[in-house]
Chains A and B, each alone.
Chain A
Amino acid sequence: MHSLLNCLLDNLAHGILLVDKEYRVVLWNGWMERVSGLNKADVIGKKVSVVCPCFVELKFRRMLMDTIVRGQNCFFAGILHHDFVSPKNVEISQEAKRQNMQIEAFYHQGETFALIQINDITVQYRRVHCLQNMIKRLEMDVKAVKKAEERARQSALYDPLTGVCNRNSLFERLEYVMNQAKRAGWLVAVLFIDLDGFKIINDMHGHITGDNLIKEVAVRLKQTVRQTDIVARFGGDEFVVILPNIYDPAEANYVGQKIRHSIDEKFNLDGKIVSITASIGISLYPSDADNVENLLKKADQAMYSVKAFGKNDCQFASTM
């Protein structure tokens, strides 16, 4: 039975080391022999700090003492301390080895011992490391997907040149605010804005200047209206501004004139001073139309009417 237990101890998959109160090794199992390269016969009776050099360090010696004197149990994590029994094969890197160590008080026939158990967690450590890297990669993939989604959402809803709403989202938003206005009893104003003589500026100064002018016009439009109002680029040099909740048509005219005056101010485009004006047609929901297409069409017609009568002005569809 005794030899069976010894055989069992020697075949355990972790290190077992028993130390008496004089800090001398009493038991050194097969795992300890295999890993350290030190034979049982050479180790038994020797001071533990001689055969297991980690106990030269004060912190581990103190813990061992606490176990023997006070009965306290200790645990040391391999992720913090690397290893406690250095491998006999010096070619194996210290970095690569990870061991957990557990020291507990062990009492037998009135004697106190410290039972030291060492587990090799190198494989587990590597697996955790792989898992961490996998989590990092997944996080990065998720971030990349989210960024791509955001970019797709931006290009689906916003005009890439100016950053204001594009034609598609204009239709959606106008429908939404019309529904809201219907419930709340508000008016919705649609201001159709076309720049006067934009083609001439494009031809004279080039497309880059033309694009810069479009961008600056969008900036001025956003600065002129409230945050709750909607600015959209309809296409080319055409913009639409929606005033979602007004009570009096005069408010729409007031905003239209403000827009006209803001565009009337000279633009400085990379040192080139450019002047332009805007013609604005205004339609109102529900009096001019009760659907998106007709409301935009009425505002567009009003804008053409302004163009026909001298440009640089505002006109309501209802006065045509």
Chain B
Amino acid sequence: MMLSEMQQDALTEFFNICVGQAAGMLSEIVNRKIKLSIPVIDLLSADDITASYFDSCIGDSSGHVMSSSLQFGQEYNGKAFLLFPVDQAKLLVNICLNEISDNAIIYDQQELLDTDFDVIKEIGNIILNSVVGGLGNLLVTKLTYSLPEVEMLFVSTEKQADLLQNNIYAFMMKTMFSIENTQFSGTILIIFGMDSVTRLIAKIDDMLEESDAFTS
């Protein structure tokens, strides 16, 4: 399944609004000015997501990524992930906890403590609630949400195969976080069944048609 340029633009605009709202909420929660860049969106099938593609999205972190995820269900179901390379996750935590300037030792290492997992859980929760909630609004449907989960994933080829079985599609959104003068990257991955993707794209097409009717 391929997205046309118009569909791609419409989805980018839509997800950008969600991500923007998430940034606003995050800023409020952590008391720091946080910006999230306009996400670069790809719609991928399980076959498209090769190990090297995944690596290019999450950076070289020796296969380890920090994942905050939540499941959503009802009419549309799937799972949303916020993925960070481990070093970037640590950097984000340290900035949120004001530990960046005087704690080069901890910054250097990639060890994540229990409390760091909690911070990532909260950040992931805010961003994913915003993005998945936005999808629910767009599709005018009520979704149910699981509680967020945080884990350290080792993204092996087998693990990717588990995540992305047949007839599964994934929206992959790469975005840059910017907190004060520090930038780091994260990837939002939303995994859907084929039906849900088809309906989402149909909804986007309806919106584009309405927009054409309005302007022509």
Chain A interface residues toward B at CB < 8 A: 58-59, 62, 66, 70-80, 100, 102, 104-105, 121, 124-125, 128, 131-132, 135-136, 139-140
Contacts and interface: CB of A to CB of B under 8 A. Distances in A.
Contacts of A136: 105-106
B142 A128 contact: no
Given A73-B70, A77-B121, A128 B143 contact: no
B175 interface: no
The 6 closest A-B pairs by CB, nearest first: A77-B118, A79-B115, A77-B122, A72-B129, A73-B147, A128-B113
Residue from the set B96, B114, B115 with the largest chain A CB neighbour count within 10 Å? B115
Contacts of A135: 105-106, 109, 111
B103 to A, nearest CB: 8
B115 A72 contact: no
B118 A78 contact: yes
Contact of B121 (A59, A75, A125, A128): A75
Residue from the set A71, A100, A121 with the largest chain B CB neighbour count within 10 Å? A71
A102 B150 CA distance: 14
6 contacts: A73-B145, A80-B96, A102-B147, A131-B113, A135-B106, A135-B109
A48 B148 CA distance: 24
A128 B124 CA distance: 21
Residue from the set A66, A75, A132 with the largest chain B CB neighbour count within 10 Å? A75
Nearest to B70: A73
A59 B126 CA distance: 11
Nearest to B129: A72
Interface of B: 25, 28-30, 70, 96-97, 105-106, 109, 111, 113-115, 118-119, 121-122, 125-126, 129, 133, 136, 142-148
A125 B97 CA distance: 13
A244 B109 CA distance: 42
A80 B97 contact: yes
A77 B153 CA distance: 21
A80 B119 contact: yes
A96 B142 CA distance: 40
B29 A59 contact: yes
A105 B126 CA distance: 16
A117 B214 CA distance: 48
Contact of A66 (B109, B129, B142): B129
